[in-house]
């Protein structure tokens, strides 16, 4: 799979409105979860590098992803992480903060969602040319914080991540977020051995429906 540019990533994320986040503890469970997400209408997902065997998981998920879907690497910290993720088949990068990976990826026009929290960090990320700002951890302050950030940064593409439930997803989008990133509230235990994939399917469909209204 070929990496997408920041412009292309911004467009796709804005269209889809949900980025699924697979953390988990098991490669097989992560791959099975990704398959269910794709089947349920989630077209953009990231696999966190904190997963043991993350690069194998990225490679396997990229191999089964429909042509319309994007597979990214999450918790990307270093330039080496970017390079290894690309080799595994990741098409975009997601960072927890403004890590060294952000400057490298953005400089190569590799799509990146940069973690940020404060107004200063948001400005720094935007100046680096990222596709969008991953506001993390969003749960600490909620939708009104997103609304407040957009007052001085009306042009900012913001994606709240952290504790984004089905109900909060709608609220974040209503105040101006371009999309939401959903981890635990969406995945549940599905990315762990023996996890409930049927429940994941139901939640994924609900997220797609809620964010497309």
Residue 27's pLDDT is what?
97
Burial of 147 (0-12, 13-18, 19+ CB in 10 A): middle
Indicate whether 1 pLDDT > 90.
no
52 is catalytic: no
Rounded Cα distance, 170 and 203, in Å = 14
Q: What is the pLDDT of residues 149-161, one digit of tens each?
A: 999 999 999 999 9
The upper half-sphere exposure of residue 3, i.e. CA atoms within 13 Å in the direction of its Cβ, equals 22
Question: Which of the residues 16, 43, 46, 171 is marked catalytic?
Answer: 46
CATH of span 6-211: 3.20.20.70
CB 114 within 8 A of CB 135: no
The DSSP secondary structure of 127-174, one letter per residue, reads HTT-SEEEETTGGGT-HHHHHHHHTT-TT--EEEBSS--HHHHHHHHH
Residue 46's pLDDT is what?
98
Backbone region of residue 24 per phi and psi (left: phi > 0; alpha: psi in -120 to 50; beta: other values): left
**Residue range 194-210: average pLDDT?**
97
Please state, for a pLDDT cut of 70, what percent of the chain lies above it: 100
Question: Which of the residues 134, 170, 171, 209 is marked catalytic?
Answer: 134
Rounded Cα distance, 88 and 73, in Å = 9
Confidence of residue 213 (pLDDT cuts 50, 70, 90): confident
Q: What is the pLDDT of residues 156-183, one digit of tens each?
A: 999 999 999 999 999 999 999 999 999 9
Length of the chain: 213
Q: What is the pLDDT of residues 3-41, one digit of tens each?
A: 999 999 999 999 999 999 999 889 999 999 999 999 999
What residues have CB less than 8 Å from 58, skipping those under 6 apart? 47, 71, 73, 85, 88, 89, 90
134 is catalytic: yes
Residue 212's pLDDT is what?
87
Q: What is the pLDDT of residues 60-112, one digit of tens each?
A: 999 999 999 999 999 999 999 999 999 999 999 999 999 999 999 999 999 99
The pTM of this model reads 0.96
Question: Helices 54-64 and 27-39, interaxial angle, to 10°?
Answer: 30
Supply 94's token pair: 């997601």
């Amino acid at each position: 799979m070929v990496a997408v540019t920041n412009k292309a990533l911004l467009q796709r994320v804005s269209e889809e409105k949900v980025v699924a986040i697979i953390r988990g503890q098991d490669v097989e469970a992560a791959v099975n979860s990704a398959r269910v997400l794709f089947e349920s209408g989630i077209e953009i997902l990231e696999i966190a590098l904190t997963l043991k065997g993350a690069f194998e998981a990225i490679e396997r998920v990229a191999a089964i992803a429909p042509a319309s879907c994007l597979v990214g690497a999450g918790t990307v910290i270093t330039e080496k992480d970017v390079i290894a993720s690309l080799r595994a088949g990741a098409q975009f990068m997601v960072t927890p903060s403004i890590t060294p990976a952000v400057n490298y990826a953005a400089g190569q026009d590799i799509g990146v969602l940069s973690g940020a929290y404060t107004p200063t960090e948001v400005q720094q990320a935007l100046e680096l040319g990222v596709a969008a700002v991953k506001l993390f951890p969003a749960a600490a302050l909620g939708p009104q914080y997103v609304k407040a950030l957009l007052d001085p940064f009306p042009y900012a593409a913001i994606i709240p991540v952290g504790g984004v439930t089905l109900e909060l997803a709608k609220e974040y989008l209503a105040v101006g977020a371009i999309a939401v990133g959903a981890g635990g509230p969406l995945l549940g235990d599905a990315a762990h051995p023996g996890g409930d994939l049927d429940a994941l399917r139901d939640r994924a469909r609900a997220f797609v429906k809620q964010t497309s209204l």
